[in-house]
Amino acid sequence: MKLNLGIDAGGTYTDAVVVRSPDDSIIASYKALTTYPDPLDGIREALDGIDQNILSQIDVVSVSTTLSTNTILEGTGFPVGLILVGDYFISTDLPTEHFIQVKGGHDSKGAEAEPLDENAVREFAQRTKEHVAAFAVSSYFSIRNHEHELRVKEIVRKTTGMPVVCAHELSQDLGAFERAVTAFFNAQLLPITEKFMSSVESEIRNRGMKAKIFMLKCDGSVVGIKGALEKPIESIFSGPAGSLVGASFLSKRDSCAVIDVGGTSTDVSVIRDGVPEMSEAGAVVGGWKTRVKAIRMETSALGGDSDIWVRTSKVNFGPRRVIPLCRAAAQFPQFVEQLANNPMPSKGLIGINFQPTKFYIRTKYEPMELSDIETEILNAIPAEPTSLKEIRKRINKYPSSKHLDILMQKRLIQPINFTPTDALHVLGEYTEYNAEASRIGAQYLGSLCKMEAEEFASYVKKEFAKNMAADLVSFFLENISRDEIRNIFDVESPIQFKVGVPVVLIGGPVIAYLEEMNNLLDAEIILPEFASVGNAAGALAAKGIRRVEILIRPVSMAAPDWEFYVYSEKGRENFYEYEEALEHALKLGEDTVREYMRDADLDPDSVKIDIKKDEVILESSDTLVETKIVVLGVAEHIEEEN
């Protein structure tokens, strides 16, 4: 019997699931709250919830996490020195203050545009090394010729001894600035990912497991520890990738759409014939466009822990994630009485940060760069629920909404309030925590819009289900705004949107929304067993997927049949015959795929390889302009023999 362990460290919960092969049956699972700022405690608790006799038999561990995404979003990554080589046009601020633009780079055919200014690189590395933890370099048209990036890497390493990330190692797509951003974030994440993966590995080894360890990538494939440490940027959005692959695995459908309801957001994506649908553009995180290949995904900032607040009788959803009232009451026994006795704010004060149900709690993050008033407010909030009235008593005035926002943005305080999770507790459809706190919250907020507690909770639940349905339809109708689609679900009509692929629900208590989704959509809605730990199951069910893109172009259009360049992630190569260039490109693609599978501890002999060849030809002269080859290799996740 072979046992595999999947771990997903998400924004709210950390899940662990054990799958037995070859029948793919789940024999154990556990959910724990994710811990901040270090997720290791949450992982440890999730593993404690699994029978230790089962853990001792684990052969393979696969991990997915939001660590990379959250690090970029929160701006808590390590400082990086960025070196731009060539004639860049920078139209926006760079993500670091430590950067330089030096002469060098190549043209679209890979010829040197200008000699590399090695002295400028050396001087920058020398003066910056005390202020950064790593370096990143992106050279103009490095996808056509890596020479200058590799030379910069050599100089910086010799000067500083620090790690250096080259843009061409991460992407073969056009877009020099986006490749620079990708290289920067990869360098920023290196120390964080190394600490996370080494902590996970130590925890696994300390429990007596001699398992192989993999990490899920954002394209739905897996990679070994070595690859994860070299390219941590590829783990951004690995959580949603896990839910997609997990939905396919749990529902036993090779093609399906998935709605993943998390604590922070709701994600929609689709998988066809076992391969996730990919985004044509690179992943966007924290407003930065990268060249990282990721699944195509529609995300809305509405989840089970979304903030529900009322102003002028209107019920508002989000956009911030808060601690649900029911969970706060389970953690702090005195909170129910504290909530019940909290006074209603005056009408002039009521807003997103001033609600009769809103409390604040201090986090474990260390304060940095605060004003005097922000420091004063922070010091008035201990590590237990604190009402606005209590803050006012300690600083002799109410804190401004602006200053509360700043403290929340810096992750120094976290709000507590009514959420969709609380609505389900009021309705008795999810009872994991303290339902009394949820009921009191529904009474308070319901009174602001002339509803009884149950009526208010039912309204919140129905609106949340409409948002889920609108997210799904918006994913497939890309040219229609999501707001227009959402408005349609408020119209009383016998018309329904028909969805031609099965729709799988993944995440916490999604069973509560099954009936509403069936009423809103004409679709096969599937709620698989173990839907609540779908992401962790996906971390295990992921396949080895490797895409290789190779370009063949004539050296000169003046003599298009005479000599050819082959551009790949390995560099630029010359061939005099087109057939010779084509044969080399195809072999290079297959060899690269199999090499990747071996490095990831996957079985290269079980790889299914699909090759697509697109030729661009001038109709007027029947002349070949370029040939683009895409080699796709798909292997089963784990070798059968350990």
The model's confidence at residue 513, banded by pLDDT at 50, 70 and 90, is very high
Mean pLDDT (the chain, rounded): 86
The pLDDT value recorded for residue 74 is: 62
The pLDDT value recorded for residue 25 is: 86
DSSP label at 360?
E
The pLDDT value recorded for residue 358 is: 96
CA distance 261 to 302: 8
The pLDDT value recorded for residue 488 is: 93
Can you tell me whether residue 427 is helix, strand or coil? coil
391 and 399 Cβ atoms separated by less than 8 Å = yes
Per residue in 308-349, pLDDT (tens digit) is 999 989 999 988 889 999 999 999 999 999 999 998 888 888
How far does the chain reach from its first CA to its final CA, in angstroms?
12
Can you tell me whether residue 362 is helix, strand or coil? strand
Per residue in 73-107, pLDDT (tens digit) is 666 678 899 999 998 777 667 788 899 999 999 88
* Region 180-186 average pLDDT: 87
CA distance 54 to 522: 42
Which residue would you say has higher pLDDT here, 157 or 549? 157
The model's confidence at residue 286, banded by pLDDT at 50, 70 and 90, is low
Closest CA to 196 of 321, 95, 47, 71: 71
167 and 179 Cβ atoms separated by less than 8 Å = yes
Token pair recorded at residue 521: 């959509």
Q: Which residues, listed in sequence order, are joined to residue 572 by a DSSP beta bridge? A: 567
Token pair recorded at residue 224: 């070994």
Domain boundaries, the chain: 74-190, 306-457, 544-635
Per residue in 404-417, pLDDT (tens digit) is 999 988 889 999 99
- What is the amino acid identity at position 323? I
Burial 469-496 (b: 16+ CB within 10 A, else e): bbbbbbbbeeeeebeebbeebeeeeeee
* Region 526-537 average pLDDT: 87
3-state SS, 216-258, equals: ECCCCEEEEHHHHHHCHHHHCCHHHHHHHHHHHHHHCCCCEEE
Res 543 pLDDT > 70: no
Strands 284-285 and 288-289: antiparallel
Res 642 pLDDT > 70: no
- What is the amino acid identity at position 212? K
pTM of the model: 0.75
533 and 478 Cβ atoms separated by less than 8 Å = no
The pLDDT value recorded for residue 177 is: 82
The model's confidence at residue 560, banded by pLDDT at 50, 70 and 90, is low
* Region 606-630 average pLDDT: 84
* 167 alpha carbon, distance to own chain's centre: 20
CA distance 77 to 79: 7
Res 523 pLDDT > 90: yes
Tokens 């990912």 correspond to what residue? Answer: 193
Res 641 pLDDT > 60: no
Per residue in 4-28, pLDDT (tens digit) is 898 988 877 888 999 887 777 888 9
Q: Of the given ranges (18-32, 98-112, 537-551), which has the lowest mean pLDDT? A: 537-551
Can you tell me whether residue 43 is helix, strand or coil? helix
551 and 31 Cβ atoms separated by less than 8 Å = no
The pLDDT value recorded for residue 92 is: 66
Sign of CA dihedral 228, 231, 237, 240: negative
CA distance 222 to 65: 13
- pLDDT more than 70, % of the chain: 95
* Region 468-494 average pLDDT: 90
Question: CA distances (Å), 265 to each of 239, 303, 398, 427, in order?
Answer: 11, 4, 31, 22
Res 186 pLDDT > 90: no
Res 118 pLDDT > 80: yes
The pLDDT value recorded for residue 217 is: 80
Token pair recorded at residue 379: 């010091």
The pLDDT value recorded for residue 639 is: 47
Can you tell me whether residue 462 is helix, strand or coil? helix
- pLDDT more than 90, % of the chain: 42
Res 638 pLDDT > 60: no
Closest CA to 365 of 70, 563, 609: 70
Token pair recorded at residue 420: 């969709």
Which residue would you say has higher pLDDT here, 109 or 200? 200
- What is the amino acid identity at position 165? V
The pLDDT value recorded for residue 636 is: 62
Strands 13-21 and 25-33: antiparallel
Token pair recorded at residue 570: 């390995």
Token pair recorded at residue 601: 């501890």
The model's confidence at residue 128, banded by pLDDT at 50, 70 and 90, is very high
User: Could you tell me where the DSSP H helices lie in 489-633?
Assistant: 514-520, 534-541, 578-599
464 and 513 Cβ atoms separated by less than 8 Å = yes
Token pair recorded at residue 233: 């940027």
Check residue 544 and give left, alpha or beta (phi > 0: left; psi -120 to 50: alpha).
beta
Per residue in 136-174, pLDDT (tens digit) is 999 988 888 889 999 999 999 999 999 899 888 777 676
The pLDDT value recorded for residue 629 is: 92
531 and 246 Cβ atoms separated by less than 8 Å = no
Per residue in 353-384, pLDDT (tens digit) is 999 999 999 988 888 778 999 999 999 999 99
3-state SS, 609-635, equals: EEEEEEEEEECCCCEEEEEEEEEEEEE
